[in-house]
Amino acid sequence: MDHAQLGEHFLFLDPSQNVAGTRCGRWSVAVIFQPLSSEEVARHRCCAAGKSKRRCAPILGSLERGLGKSQGVNGFLHSHQTGLRNFLMSQKGRDYVLGICDFSLEWRVSHSTSNSIPDPVTTRRCSLPKTMQNQDGVQVDGEVESATSVPTPEFDEWANFGDQDIMQQHSAIRAEEAEKIPFLGDKEPLSSLAAEYQSGSAILLEKIKVLGEQYAAIRRTRGDGNCFFRSFMFSYLEHILESQDQSEVDRIKANVEQCRKTLQSLGYADFTFEDFFALFLEQLDSVLQGNEASISHDELILRSRDQSVSDYVVMFFRFVTSGEIRKRAEFFEPFILGLTNATVEQFCKSSVEPMGEESDHVHITALSDALGVPIRVVYLDRSSCDTGGVSVNHHDFVPAGSDLPNASGGSEKVSPFITLLYRPGHYDILYPK
Amino acid sequence: MQASRARLFKEYKEVQREKVADPDIQLVCDDSNIFKWTALIKGPSETPFEGGVFQLAFAVPEQYPLQPPQVRFLTKIFHPNVHFKTGEICLDILKNAWSPAWTLQSVCRAIIALMAHPEPDSPLNCDSGNLLRSGDLRGYYSMARMYTKLAAMPKKG
């Protein structure tokens, strides 16, 4: 056989993939772009001898049409079923229509599958060249037939269904759900929580009663994966608005500057995060009274319900959280490994930075540490204590380094001014009595 | 709207500055519309796309950078994660894993990385995905190479 030329295509049975003891192997079409040595050609049992001189150009149009139509079915290529005579494919252990140009093509095996070829005009059955006949003798079995069934038209419809459409549908569903609950709800008495569980678990109702001794009200947030950050945002800004604590504002601003430096040192380009930082600092300034940009409590609620403000602040927190986790990667790594199987960096990229990714212990710890804000999380779940009595657990996230001398035992001293209610999968804001 | 415009303008300036730094990516903003960008990226070496130049089209939504840009290949490419007809790209950061930490420039880099490391288990091009999944590297290489030669390389006389 001649030296293979550029642009030739070959049908070959890959000897390394031949399934021992069967007629089957994996067939492929190769289009040659680098001339192969004749040994290599022989090794692949190229059998296009004499007919392989054709350039591939004439078949490209039909290849393309075939590819466009085909949507692998059961893992097989079915391009041939569009009726193109020249098409490929290979699948371990299966016989396929293979064909190029004058080869026409075949069902190498089976005499019985001819009616599954949709277009008898363009698909001509013919024998493969001798050398391509399988080496183990032809045996026909039913399996082959089923493997080469004709795809139904529905696959064509699926082919027109892109990710873009799916995403659009997702966001439409989200928008519809969003109508029902604002980013931030109104302050409700705790009894509204009890009403929710009226016919539910007795343990929960008991716990809500216990909660009622310490807490007066709840403010709900939308359950869209950003609820922790939105709760934290409003709760913190509301605290500043009510306390007018200038020293706390100065302190957190210093921490925010630190976070900015952290992100810079981690290689984030300034312009990717600066807008989010600026918007948060703007909110911070506006809740302090006495300057022309000052806002009222009602205005704060309105802003917290405004998507562009709320989302930008959430994103600010996500950047801060991600930066803190990556800065102290060796500290967070064991916790992250416990949650997922990802590296710290993968975790930040996939579970911290994207909007809508839910927050876990790791996120809260990191945010609390980075901003130096203690957070109390009250857990409302169905667990009950051994003693039989019901108590409501809470956990205080105390920023690392906030009381250095006795960091281990001294957490009692810090009393968080942010209290969140955690029910599995969701955070709301709690108001103490 | 205003925020996305401001951000895109910063990216524009950044692109001008980085032009020399990344010779594999040439990102260009539409003259009249800052929400439309195109990019020319070089096929990564040691892949069937080597030597090819691929054109990408970016449509940036008004909620950018909270929402990802829509990106598709304008140049025909045979790759498991690119729709053969529409050029749509299946890449997590363009969908649910998007965050504003990405930029148009870094999206281009991610796409180049995707070209070198296809994910055949979530194919938009099933033919291409099936070739890889069945271990037919040679078949995959041949097809991908063919389309690179045809669509992404200058025609020879």
The CB-based long-range contact list for A63-68 (8 Å cut-off, 24+ gap) reads A63/A87, A67/B78, A67/B84, A67/B125, A67/B127, A68/A159, A68/B84, A68/B85
- Of A46, A101, A394, A428, catalytic: A394
What is the DSSP code string of B100-111?
TT--HHHHHHHH
Cα separation, A324 vs A263, in Å, equals 9
Give per-residue pLDDT as tens, A21-53: 443 444 444 443 333 344 443 333 333 323 333
B-chain residues near A354 (CB < 8 A): 96-99
Q: How large is the angle between the packed helices B137-147 and B126-133, nearest 10 degrees?
A: 150
We find that the CATH architecture of domain B1-152 is Roll (3.10)
The b-or-e profile of A229-267 (16+ CB within 10 A means b, else e) is: bbbbbbbbbbebbeeeeeebbeebeebbebbbebbeeee
Q: C-alpha dihedral over A235, A238, A244, A249, to 10 degrees?
A: 50
The interface predicted TM-score (ipTM) is: 0.89
pLDDT at A414: 67
What confidence tier does A160 reach under pLDDT thresholds 50, 70, 90? low
Q: Which CATH class is domain A182-401+413-432?
A: mainly alpha
Give which of A105, A87, A93 is closest to A31, Cα–Cα: A87
CB of B28 less than 8 A from some CB of A: no
pLDDT at A105: 27
pLDDT at A194: 86
User: Is A239 considered catalytic here?
Assistant: no
**Ramachandran quadrant class, A288 (left: phi over 0; alpha: psi -120 to 50; beta: rest):** beta
- pLDDT of A78 > 80? The answer is no
Helix (H) or strand (E) holding A172: helix A163-180
The parts of chain B modelled with pLDDT lower than 70 are 1, 20, 156-157
Give me chain A's average pLDDT, please: 68
CB B125 within 8 A of CB B137: no
Least confident of A13-22, A364-373, A384-393: A13-22
Quote the tokens at residue A145.
């037939």
Helix (H) or strand (E) holding A429: strand A426-432
- pLDDT of A274 > 60? The answer is yes
Least confident of A161-165, A230-234, A406-410: A406-410
What confidence tier does A159 reach under pLDDT thresholds 50, 70, 90? very low
What confidence tier does A346 reach under pLDDT thresholds 50, 70, 90? very high
- Mean pLDDT for A384-390 is 66
- pLDDT of A104 > 70? The answer is no
CB of B150 less than 8 A from some CB of A: yes
User: Is A95 considered catalytic here?
Assistant: no
Least confident of A42-46, A176-180, A294-298, A399-403: A42-46
Candidate from B6, B14, B129 with C-beta closest to A269: B14
Give per-residue pLDDT as tens, A217-250: 999 999 888 999 999 999 999 999 999 999 999 9
User: Is A297 considered catalytic here?
Assistant: no
pLDDT at A388: 62
Cα separation, A312 vs B100, in Å, equals 10
Spell out the domain ranges in chain A. 182-401+413-432
- Mean pLDDT for A175-180 is 74
Residues with Cβ within 8 Å of residue A363, at least 6 apart in sequence = A228, A321, A352
Radius of gyration over every alpha carbon of chain A, rounded to an integer in angstroms: 33
Q: Per the CB < 8 Å rule, is A271 touching B96? A: no
B-chain residues near A29 (CB < 8 A): 139, 142
Three-state DSSP class for residue A134: coil
What confidence tier does A400 reach under pLDDT thresholds 50, 70, 90? confident
Q: How many Cβ pairs within 8 Å bridge chains A and B? A: 118
What confidence tier does A149 reach under pLDDT thresholds 50, 70, 90? very low
Catalytic residues of B, by residue number, are 90
- pLDDT of A325 > 80? The answer is yes
Total Cβ atoms within 10 A of residue B119: 15
CA distance B132 to chain A (A): 11
CB B60 within 8 A of CB B37: yes
Spell out the domain ranges in chain B. 1-152
Candidate from A70, A162, A308 with C-beta closest to B126: A70
A-chain residues near B126 (CB < 8 A): 70-72, 77
CA distance A330 to chain B (A): 22
- Mean pLDDT for A359-368 is 93
Higher-confidence residue of A75 and A142: namely A142
- Name the burial class of residue A285, with classes exposed (0-12), middle (13-18) and buried (19+) by CB atoms within 10 angstroms of its CB: middle
Candidate from B85, B99, B130 with C-beta closest to A77: B130
Three-state DSSP class for residue B54: strand
What confidence tier does A177 reach under pLDDT thresholds 50, 70, 90? confident
What confidence tier does A57 reach under pLDDT thresholds 50, 70, 90? very low
Quote the tokens at residue A366.
């990191």
Chain B: residue nearest A29 by CA? B139
Q: How large is the angle between the packed helices A227-243 and A307-327, nearest 10 degrees?
A: 100
Q: Per the CB < 8 Å rule, is B142 touching A33? A: yes
